Amino acid sequence: MTLLAVDQNLSSRINLMRILLICGIVFVHVPFDPQTSPFLGRLWLFDWFRVFLGDSLFRIGVPCLSAISGYLLFRRGLSEFRFAPVVRSKLKTVLLPFLLWNLGLLLVLLLMQRAHVGIGYFPDLWSGSPAEFTNYALAFQGYPINLPLYFLRDLFVCILLSPLLAVLVARAPWMTCGSLFLLAILPDVTVGLVLKKSILFSFAFGIALAVHNVDTKALDRHAPIGVVATLFAAVVLASGLYSMGPSFPFWMDLARNTLSIVGALGFWLLSAMLLRTALGQRLARTGSLSFWVFCGHYPLLVGLWMIWNRFGDAAAYPVFYVSAVLVTFVILISSNAIISRSLPVAYQILTGSRGRSQGAAPASRRLDDADAIAVKGAAFSQDRR
């Protein structure tokens, strides 16, 4: 198999995984309040399914795609890595979109809250301290106002740390990855540099795979078993979370954190299976749509929640849940198509230059475009983060 063929397959699998997982973010972030919490158990199977999607299965996305980012950054080897050009590139593909989408929402909310709209659904920006406002705007020490964008913030931090991480995993891969893994799964342990601990471990693990030239397709022949095992573990975890939530004992948090990292292998193996299907091939060609959905879904969902609370009630929450997801997908898919065609320059900027035709770019270039959108959003509530 030629290098080009390998790159094409790898790029397609990455594109397939990111659209699947980022669509999963939408389910993770469907808003609810104490009266519609899934842990009340009023709607049993429906509520369990919400926990399965939002607190179990799709928590795997961040570690999985973080590992891919680290792998792609060093896939040509440690000797070929050039820090300064990489940082210049990521300023455009990671940091600039973060600032545009986050500060854009911040400005809209400032205007809305000046008219006393949106307070209670988003933080009160006019009454907060300067430090809080700075965090909402730039996420220096806390989550940004557009919550899922914390991933871009953490990803950029990992990129700045990448030379150090690469040296550590090159010289002591087991010790480095093992230490970061323990930090990632232990509840109530903070790292400081990143908002989500699993991102730091997974990014370093991805670097280790690349630096040590690990065959990422070695387990593909075991894909069915790996996928079934991951789904089974997610079902078991969701059942435990559903019966014990919303507060969990130490060991349950430990299990949830562990599955979110280990389960990444299941999604990677799933991509090998799905890519053999017509649907998988089509999803792998969605290109920059995944980034558009990632950046835009959270404000849309909260906006729909604000509208719903004016007319709906808790008893009809399943109607909101399903309709909010459908409406969000329709709006984002339509707006992605319209803006990419009518305002291509603006679209390129907003998507970090991810709007090129996938078919026209060489495989190696498609891999470069894939690494910065290894994303999955933060959860809606603090206990889901």
Distances (CA, A) of 220 to 258, 276, 282, 307: 22, 12, 21, 46
Please tell me the predicted confidence (pLDDT) of residue 79. Answer: 87
pLDDT value of residue 259: 95
**Cα–chain-centroid distance for residue 246?**
22
Q: What is the pLDDT of residue 191?
A: 85
Query: What is the number of other CB atoms lying within 10 angstroms of the CB of residue 268?
Result: 24
Q: Is 118 left (phi over 0), alpha (psi -120 to 50) or beta?
A: left
pTM of the predicted model over 0.85:
yes
pLDDT tens per residue, the chain (385 residues)? 334 444 688 889 988 998 998 898 899 999 999 999 999 988 889 999 999 999 999 988 888 889 889 999 998 888 889 999 999 999 999 999 999 999 999 999 999 999 988 888 999 999 989 999 999 999 999 999 999 999 999 999 999 999 999 999 999 999 999 999 999 999 988 888 999 999 999 999 999 999 999 998 999 999 999 999 999 999 999 999 999 988 899 999 999 999 999 999 999 999 999 999 999 999 999 989 999 999 999 999 999 999 999 888 888 999 999 999 999 999 999 999 999 999 999 999 999 988 654 443 443 344 444 333 333 333 333 344 4
Q: How many CB atoms lie within 10 A of CB 369?
A: 24
Those residues whose C-beta lies under 8 Å from the C-beta of residue 290, and which sit 6 or more positions away, are: 15, 18, 19, 22, 373, 375
What is the reported pLDDT for 189? 87
Cis amide leading into 246 (omega within 30): yes
